[in-house]
Structure 1
Amino acid sequence: MTLLITGASGFIGRHVCAQLTHHHDILAVLRQPDTQLPALRQQVNALGGQGERLRAVQGDLDLPGLGLPEDLAPPQAIIHLGARFAWELDRETAHRTNVAGSLAVAELARRHGSRLVFISGFMLENREHLQRLGITSDDPEQVDWQAVYRRAGGYEASKLEAAIRVRALAAASNLDLVEVQPATVAGHSHTGTLDTAQPLFALLDNLASGRLAMAPGSPQHWLPLVAVDHLAALIAVAATGDTVPQRLLALDPDTPNLQGLLAIAANTLGRRAPQRHLPIPVLAALLRLPGMPRLMNTWPEALHFIQPTRFDTASTDAFLAQQGLTRPAMEAVIAASARWYQQYRRDQPDLYPA
């Protein structure tokens, strides 16, 4: 089986490639294959994969038709991980990469008859949140997207719009679509390896740097997590399995509440865990003050992912059992992520002077 993947050089993508190259050839869509492919192969080998099974094709989510060659051989499945992530992302940029780019990937899958494994996000299963944003219809043409972008910010809004538009395209064309909906990504379940762009890294950094005197929200609020290696394994079987549910919620329901998460991390980091809570509306008001997001290393858009809502993972649980996949214990994953962060901090004396 030959698989095409976007976002292969990203944190999740590298782990997915390491999982899949044990048994499959991977064609990675890269902007600069000559320089990116050798580095990606090394990273995949370091993660236990077989980097020599990786090839590359030049392409870009921002280009019409992804900038791919016309004679591209049809892949059996396409994994779409590529996305543009940043807080305060402007709507035009977010839409071009995350919405138009996703639709171009979906059209490529439709044209070649490939399964599309589309990576969206867990908040698509939070109906109350979607309604607050103004998403009350499965028809993308019935949504006031301008209002959604204003309320959610460019990154989250574009990911929501992309998922809903790709679903509509799939329904209209009989596209074989599997949507994987990851929670916030934690580190590797054994090594704790964590990407510095991940929100969990910022949370650990704030805790270690003394910027978290209180836990955001209430005792009911939590930040759902998934270990990166477990997520990669789920994506791999979603791409290669015979019978796969249309949606897979990649979220550990046993993730502790936010205060519990911080307590585990604080114990590992040798810090004092927050004992009191700061209501989300109060924190959101503080973050509207000029300069406060940068000072607090917390962005208003990130607060949307800290929710009291719990999720039904029964369908995903059944699929995991069928595939013989088990979730690693999340408390151990949090501790491993904190240990990795601690070592990272020691290795960056210029960023973290004593």
Structure 2
Amino acid sequence: MILKSLSLINYKNLDNRSFDFNKNINCIVGNNGIGKTNILDAIYHLSFGKSYFNPVATQNIKHGEDFFVIQGDYIKNDLPEKVVISLKKGQKKIIKRNGKAYDKFSDHIGFLPLVMISPADRDLIIEGSDIRRKFIDSVISQSDKAYLLNIIKYNKVLAQRNALLKYFALNHTYNADTIAVYNDQLTEYGTKIFHKRNAFLKAFIPIFKAHYHNISNGNDTVNLVYKSDLSENDLKILLEQQINKDRALQYTSVGIHKDDLAFDIEGYPIKKFGSQGQQKSFLIALKLAQFDFIKTQSKVKPILLLDDIFDKLDEERVAQIIKLAGEDSFGQIFISDTHAERTENIVKQAHQSYEFFKL
């Protein structure tokens, strides 16, 4: 799959820009704050229908303007594909594929597989469990529509159950039968999600460990540990056991929305015991494993976005990754950097065609 061209109108700090890309490696270079990352984020937006960095859609419109438009022209499975995303203030975002608007944004997820590696990925280590759940869901959803649909359904029922718990508290009332209906629905969707996450991680963890071994030269023992309430008991039983607590808290305290993924090095949390270099290698390995998993599942090489990659790794490590491009491990790659000469010296080692875009 190749992104042939990109056109932007009023996206973030970019007013009207167009780019024709190389099918192998594309380097976007320039000073900080000039818009390099915004170009990569626009490419991400075309795959996921949202920004990687700012989930508030209207905040991606250029200051002083009322709308943005992103257009990408692709070749996928030897066929041309055009995706356009537009948003006007006060209106709903529109995603079109080949001129036809999607009824549901979720139908678009996975059509343009993509992996982003960014300094912002450090949130996976330092922030709460919600970020890590979203990572798991993002990887699985790109190749499993049923899983994405179950996530959407589960979150909808969860919101309804939480609203009901608040209603009970405000009105000093309680209806066990109504709660039981929501418990059944959460159990149905949550159990499917739990089993899928479990199966995914069993396949994913060995890939991750292999990448970390290569990046770190085998110096550390790392692991990912899936933590879920459902590992201990059936969700329906857990919901029934926790009902008094839930009524007091006015929200649902157990379920797959509380799952977490522990990041360990030598058996300890990498957040506390990992050096900065170890944390960077851990995140790169995580994202390269994501790439491999999606490539295997979708039978398509995802687009790989390397945002400010030298912030994460030294030049030797970056060269290792780019070298893989020359071995046909990756498809199309986009790199942003502040130093054109440094980037060019490394991409030459891939012995692939490349294009430079200086902002």
Same fold (TM over 0.5): no
Q: TM-score, normalised by structure 2?
A: 0.27
Q: Which has the higher contact order (CA 8 A, sep 6+)?
A: 2
| Higher Rg | 2
Q: TM-score, normalised by structure 1?
A: 0.27
**Which has the larger strand fraction?**
2
